[in-house]
Chain A
Amino acid sequence: MYQGTRHRAPAIVSRPDLAAIAEWVRPRAKVLDLGCGDGTLLRYLAETREAWGYGVEISEANVLACVRNRVNIIQSDLESGLSAFESASFDYVILSQTLQSMHHTEEIVREMLRVGREGIVSFPNFGHWRNRMQILLGRMPVSEALPYQWFDTPNVHLCTVNDFETFCAQHGVRILERRVLHLGKEVATLPNLLGSIAVFRIERRD
């Protein structure tokens, strides 16, 4: 079990999508966090939701950070699938700010909905008006949600809120809940234009 409850809660404010994700996770749920970074979300879920589970990371530095954060961490390449995990063995499989850097997008979504009863996906909305403006001005977008230059970005599969919804419709994925955010606040009107980050709760449509 998690041992770190006496320690300071991690700074989660800088990642508004994580707060949104945490609100959806039921207490004491079993969670798999794909591309979990330094384990901030898992640690936060453990402390606020008594949720429990594992993170998956490929980078040595993040694996070390997770151990320091006292979360279970499996060093593995998401691109090679989730064969170590049994079907329907998690309440939630989370892919936060990772989808856009995956090469095998269809496969990872299929895998996360095989392993988890539900999936939670967050990604930067490429349709945000500021991105559109920068394109119109003849530049690749750089923003808080997309902080990379075109030549050093890990992002290979950027999409808009609308793109993702079409993807779900075409890939047997049911959208259970959606939150589109900007500066930590929910965007109700014209989300594909005014939201910079999107969070979806999804399941398999069988």
Chain B
Amino acid sequence: MHDPASVGAVTAQTAEFNTPLQFRSGATLDGYRLVFETYGELNASRSNAVLVCHALSGTHHVAGHYEDNPRDIGWWDNMVGPGKPLDTNRFFVVGVNNLGGCHGSTGPSTIDPETGRPFGPRFPVVTVEDWVVSQARLADRLGIEQFAAIIGGSLGGMQALQWSLDFPERVRHVICIAAAPKLTAQNIAFNDVARQAILTDPEFHGGDFYDKSVVPRRGLRLARMLGHITYLSDDSMAEKFGRVLRSGALNFGYDVEFEIESYLRYQGDKFADRFDANTYLLMTKALDYFDPAHSHGGDLSAAFRGATANFLIVAFTSDWRFSPERSEEILKALLDNELDVSYAEFKTVHGHDSFLMTDPHYHELMRAYFQSIEL
């Protein structure tokens, strides 16, 4: 099956770093590895690079497929490819698995060279700021002095924002989709219930489950089921599942009865098969800690004072996890600093997950914005 709008078969690459990385928490890693993929060609003036930052459960595999696994298609394949909104005929696109991840970059399941055992719970609590530093080092390695754009949805959008604060001279356009300037108490509460599901799973073993040949599946499953509910909207669930019963009748028991139960359990199982429990904990903490205004007395406008990038902020009406009002907080801070910013709000039904969906209006705007970027 040949899809001309796909980047086709791709190969993950690895970059090893031997310069110590000091985390915001104070912890240090002497060395680390980042796994990444690239699509398209870096032009001679190195002005066409775009970094794609992933969200909670994303990876470096943004687009295309693997030769040996054609069904493993990148998580943003509808956005990135030849002729797609982020056109790889024009841009050199970089996807990276964040530090602390579980898809090849150094993370909790990596062997700690000091102990000879997996890091497990001893892996440093990683923040959005730490990721941005590690991504900047990868950019150095790839010869990218300045990104044409950095784009991300949700937690990925937060990284794109952080880039504009920490390395203003290294990014010309920031595209921040379905994100928030910080989590609300309700957001943190959802994250903590997810964490508690993992932490209290008897097979979690305080995070040292790797050498016990078990996986805290129940915890991961519950965490994902809960998360998934918050990514969808009430309307999209009603439309997709309603109150449809699997067997067509009530069974007066606790087995799967409603379609939504079946769907959530399937999502939970699928996730538990591929995701690391310690990584999940780390990612949710990175979300909880993100708050660029905090070091400016809670003043988000003050936080953006040093930013110079052009911004595109995108929100979706049905997203109640990071609602349009949260994106408007970011917008307000950018307006206060007289930065070039555009803001679009799309009427979709898919909730927070809308940023991953193929909505024609949304994709047309992304295409137009990328086309407006001069190289």
Contacts and interface: CB of A to CB of B under 8 A. Distances in A.
Nearest to B313: A74
B343 A76 contact: yes
A63 B365 CA distance: 8
A30 B346 CA distance: 27
A59 to B, nearest CB: 11
Contact of A54 (B335, B345, B374): B335
A72 B342 contact: yes
Contact of A64 (B332, B336, B368): B368
A54 B372 CA distance: 16
Contact of A30 (B331, B338, B344, B371): B338
Interface string B331-360: 110011010111111100000000000000
Interface string A61-77: 00110111010111110
Contacts of B364: 64
A43 to B, nearest CB: 12
A11 interface: no
Contact of B344 (A3, A54, A63, A68): A63
B355 to A, nearest CB: 16
A161 B224 CA distance: 62
A70 B331 contact: no
Interface of A is mostly: mixed
Contacts of B368: 64, 67-68
Nearest to A58: B345
A64 B345 CA distance: 11
A1 B173 CA distance: 12
B342 A86 contact: no
A75 B335 contact: no
A67 B338 contact: no
A167 interface: no
Contact of A68 (B341, B372, B374): B372
A84 B342 contact: no
A141 B325 CA distance: 41
Contacts of B371: 68
Contacts of A1: 340
Contacts of A30: 338
Interface in B93-145: none
A73 B314 CA distance: 12
A177 interface: no
Interface residues of B, number: 21
A121 B341 CA distance: 24
A162 to B, nearest CB: 36
B340 A72 contact: yes
Given A60-B361, A84-B328, A67 B340 contact: no
Interface string A138-181: 00000000000000000000000000000000000000000000
A74 B342 contact: yes
A89 B335 CA distance: 10
B338 A73 contact: no
B343 A75 contact: yes
B190 interface: no
Nearest to A63: B344
B332 to A, nearest CB: 5
Contact of B342 (A3, A60, A67, A85): A67
Most-contacted residue by chain A among B332, B342, B364 (CB, 10 A): B342
A89 B345 CA distance: 24
A85 B365 contact: no
A70 B341 contact: no
Contacts of B346: 60
A1 B342 CA distance: 12
B342 A66 contact: yes
Nearest to B312: A67
Given A67-B365, A68-B368, A75 B340 contact: no
Contacts of A86: 335-336
Contacts of B336: 86
Given A64-B361, A68-B368, 13 more contacts: A54-B335, A63-B365, A67-B372, A72-B340, A72-B341, A72-B342, A73-B343, A74-B342, A75-B345, A76-B343, A84-B328, A86-B335, A86-B336
The 4 closest A-B pairs by CB, nearest first: A67-B368, A73-B342, A74-B343, A75-B344
7 contacts: A63-B365, A67-B372, A72-B340, A74-B343, A84-B328, A84-B332, A84-B335
